[in-house]
Amino acid sequence: MSDLLERLRGRGWRMTAQRRVVAEVLDGDHVHLTADEVHARAVAKLPEISRATVYNTLGELVTLGEVLEVATDKRAKRYDPNAHRPHHHLVCAQCGAIRDVHPTGNPMADLPDSERFGFTVSDVEVTYRGVCPNCAAA
């Protein structure tokens, strides 16, 4: 994670306590927090941090490509720090749990030119939906 901070500093980011805290909160695998959850965890480490700052910082991390925005179909966007390794998502339709997955195959190659409508296609996002073991047991 400290390499993230390094990279950010290298990009001319002014390092502030708030940004450091947000970066620390977004650490680990299978982490997919909403902005509010990030805020809640950040407040635990730095009580004065404001919601607006969390949104700003997340937005910057996304435009820098260090964090991915994941729009499952729940209301709130989620933020995924695992941006350095391409992956897709498996979402529980009941509880909303999210896992990172790595399907075989290359969906990019599966879209014939005739189906591109003149678009310059740059990215694919695959979302598997199902029911997680916890919810299936309940």
Partner DNA sequence: GCTCGAATTGGACTGAGTCCAGTGTGACTC
Partner DNA sequence: GAGTCACACTGGACTCAGTCCAATTCGAGC
What does DSSP assign to residue 79? E
> Is 132 assigned a ligand-binding role in the annotation?
yes
If binding is defined by CB under 8 A, does position 103 make contact with a second copy? yes
Residue count at the site for DNA (CB under 7 A)? 25
Phi, psi (5° rounding) for residue 4?
Answer: -60, -50
Q: Is 107 in the site for a second copy (CB under 8 A)?
A: yes
Identify which of residues 12 and 114 has a Cβ nearer to a second copy in the complex: 114
Distance from C-alpha of 17 to C-alpha of 5, rounded to nearest angstrom: 12
SS3 61: helix
The verdict on whether residue 12 carries a ligand-binding annotation is no
Do 128 and 89 contact (CB within 8 A), yes or no? yes
* Selected binder of DNA within 6, 27, 29, 36 (CB under 7 A): 36
The residues binding DNA (CB under 7 A) are: 9, 13-19, 34-36, 46, 48-53, 55-57, 59, 75-77
